[in-house]
A = this chain, B = another copy of it.
């Protein structure tokens, strides 16, 4: 029985997210399991480092699967490249220790959210950015970002109703970078809650527009109230960049 790690990128536009649904063509996991099932002649379960929502992209998603196969990792890579659709790419297939688990072993994740900050045309990146033209106070946003850093209960910055498991996470980095007309938010944490990146970015944009003050962020943590935080910005601007392992 082999255990294989998959390093993946995908354009999430056409998909209803990572997690398998009835129709295997509708999700990334479903599509991978379909192709690997055909390859091995077995039912294959693909474990992802985490789910990405409908419309969210990935440059560095990590997954793994167990299968009894005589195929080598390069052979599996070639098979996947031949049979996966062109919006799902495999950067690497690696034979790993049978104990490797892409979700349980993940130490840290990095997401990038791209805002096309202009009312000009955005023809070629339109599927991968959220476009807005309102002025933004970058200094206020930097001040807001600094208040998000560290260990907090991020429940108010998630779409979870009431959580059974801990909603405490450590946000290790929030970087804002301006690349031409684009404003990029790069967030790194030991884990992210449901919609957490999109709500954090929505909150920083509300700070940038003056609808929230940087100090309001402390208040939102203190009160634990989702309704005080910013909006959930659209999925298409979000991309999972990297998952780190020991």
Q: Please list the residues of chain A having a beta carbon within 8 angstroms of any beta carbon in chain B.
A: 9-11, 57, 81, 86-91, 119-124, 126, 128
Contact = CB atoms under 8 A, between A and B. Distances in A.
Contact of A88 (B9, B119, B123): B123
Contact of A121 (B9, B119, B123): B9
B119 A124 contact: no
A89 B121 CA distance: 5
A89 B9 contact: no
Chief secondary structure at chain A's binding surface = loop
A119 B81 contact: yes
A123 B87 contact: yes
A89 B120 contact: yes
A121 B88 CA distance: 8
Nearest to A125: B124
Instruction: Please provide the 10 A-B residue pairs with the shortest distance between their CB atoms, ordered closest to farther.
Output: A89-B121, A89-B123, A11-B123, A9-B123, A86-B126, A9-B121, A87-B123, A10-B123, A91-B121, A11-B124
A86 B11 contact: no
Nearest to A90: B121
A81 B131 CA distance: 13
Contacts of A81: 119, 121
B128 A124 contact: yes
25 contacts: A9-B121, A9-B123, A9-B124, A10-B123, A11-B123, A11-B124, A11-B126, A57-B124, A81-B119, A81-B121, A86-B122, A86-B123, A86-B126, A87-B123, A87-B126, A88-B121, A88-B123, A89-B120, A89-B121, A89-B122, A89-B123, A90-B121, A91-B120, A91-B121, A124-B128
Contacts of A119: 81
Nearest to A92: B120
A173 B97 CA distance: 53
A239 B73 CA distance: 37
A2 to B, nearest CB: 22
